[in-house]
Amino acid sequence: MNCESDAVYACVLMGDAMDKIRRHIIFYGRVQGVGFRWHCKNFANAKGLTGWVQNLPDGTVEMEVQGTEEKVSALIGYMEERPYVEIDSFDSEIIDLVDGDFGFYTKESW
């Protein structure tokens, strides 16, 4: 590669990283025992999102998801439309990106 193409490649990579966000989300409602984590994992992996999802002992579901805002929002919207899942509310905050994050998986629950 020459310097010019290296610079273009670096800009493309940097632009991709700058478009990404990572959200920490806690979901409340009927979110355990209804396939929530399974649907999350499959949708997220199909869309190229990274992160994890897990059940918490208080009946909520915790998730960290990384990708573009558009794809992260699409995952949340998808989960709100799942049969049997009833999301009453969720808390969400943007957190630091995780470098080298690969794939989306289900974490061991408590």
Distance CA 63, CA 25 (A): 5
Catalytic hit among 37, 42, 45, 82: 37
Tokens, residue 67: 């990708």
Closest CA to 44 of 78, 75, 87, 73: 75
Q: Is 55 a catalytic residue?
A: yes
Catalytic hit among 2, 22, 30, 55: 55
Would you state the torsion angle of the CA atoms of residues 59, 35, 89, 25, taken in this order, to the nearest 10 degrees? 80
* Catalytic residue ranges: 37, 55
